[in-house]
Amino acid sequence: MATLLAFVATDASVAQDALRQLLADAAARSFNRISVDGDTSTNDSFVLIATGAGGGSMIDNPGHPGFAALREAVLEVSQGLALAIVRDGEGATKFITVSREKGRDEAECAGRRLYDRALTAGENRVLRLRPESGRLLAAIGNARVRDLEVGRVELYLDEVLVSKDGGRAPTYLEEDGKRVMAKSEITVRVVLNRGPAATTVWTCDLSHDYVTINAGYRT
């Protein structure tokens, strides 16, 4: 969370157990799906507060008529804050969305090892505007995905299919990859082609300014 203390408040009346469920769901789909440099801070905190000042019946379980709407509202605010962290990353010049699609289940798609490996490999490629699919695929293969079938994996940069069937896509052109990499916002799609599950995380590039900024202070 980039050493962030995040406080989200609602005037709804919410029981503590229901509030914990809302907090866990929002954290899992927002702050726990971002990475600026793959590191964490002991100060990272996310607090959800319900004052009850708005009145209304107590929301005490997921079956309550107001639970779903509140969950979406909390998620919208949480994701907005989380994405702002990425966009404001130290020295960041690019906002990168990484989606992992068609996995066996959400747990497989949400595995941070794949994202951390792919982001580490990808950030440097992004900075240099070089769509090096080999390094990204190597990172995916090193993510300890159970029984990964490399021949079924597809890699996209935005709408451009870069790799399929275990190698470079026949339709891929280097100029298409460079065109995508030159954008300020990029989507990297890893399609496993073995199930219905999907997840998304967000990151940014590590520029020379990132090194300069972090070298300029002590903790």
Q: Which residues are catalytic?
A: 3
Closest alpha carbon to 26 in 2, 7, 4, 43: 7
Close Cβ partners of 153 (under 8 Å, ≥ 6 residues apart): 137, 140, 163, 164, 166, 190, 191, 192, 193
| Nearest residue to 98 (alpha-carbon basis) of 79, 74, 117 | 117
* C-alpha torsion 117→120→121→126, nearest 10: 140
